[in-house]
Amino acid sequence: NWFPSRAKASIVELEQMADTASAMSAQLAASEVTRAQAQSQLQLVLDSTTESIWELDLEQRRVHLQGRFVERFGLAAADLALADFYARIHPADLAEVIGRHEYPERHPAENYTVEYRFRDAEGTYHWLLSRARVVEQDARGKIRRLAGTHVDIDALKATEEALVIASQQAQAANVAKTR
């Protein structure tokens, strides 16, 4: 308990000030408990729904990652040069990701979504869904920072692929049956 014991004052105004200070201290302590609980709940939600939260600084050409992303993909640090981040993106997806990152003004919506493959430390690509928003612009409207989330969609992509294959097989069987 970090609250000092209260001394009694013989002056009414001092007593009122002490009462007010005491009430403010109690309110601050309750607020801090509420903030800590909210932070804990947010972390649980983020851990169960996303791979990471990320922030892209276009002026510094850096991306900062929070969450499981760094460990899962075997990255050296949570703060990377943008070129190092791009080096892990599948070549077929790179132009789309760069277009979304480097030229977000071409996508006038308030947020954007892009799916792409990102390589882990062993060289295996994993599908990610990346959603972001512009969080900072300069006075001329040039975008300086984006922030968003990454969600692992490997299972979804595998299911989509299996459905396409099953559909093709069904169509082939139907064609063979009609001959």
pLDDT tens figures, 139-172: 988 889 999 999 989 888 888 888 888 888 888 8
* 74 close to 88: Cβ distance less than 8 angstroms: no
Residues 6 or more apart whose CB falls under 8 angstroms from that of 120 comprise 72, 73, 74, 126
Residues 6 or more apart whose CB falls under 8 angstroms from that of 47 comprise 67, 68
Strands (E), 44-138: 52-57, 62-67, 79-81, 111-119, 125-137
* 146 close to 136: Cβ distance less than 8 angstroms: no
Flag whether the pTM goes above 0.75.
no
Distance CA 64, CA 46 (A): 16
For residue 134, the cross-strand partners are 146
Amino acid at 133: R
pLDDT at 176: 79
* 70 close to 51: Cβ distance less than 8 angstroms: no
Q: Which residues of the chain have pLDDT under 70?
A: 1-4, 42-50, 107-111
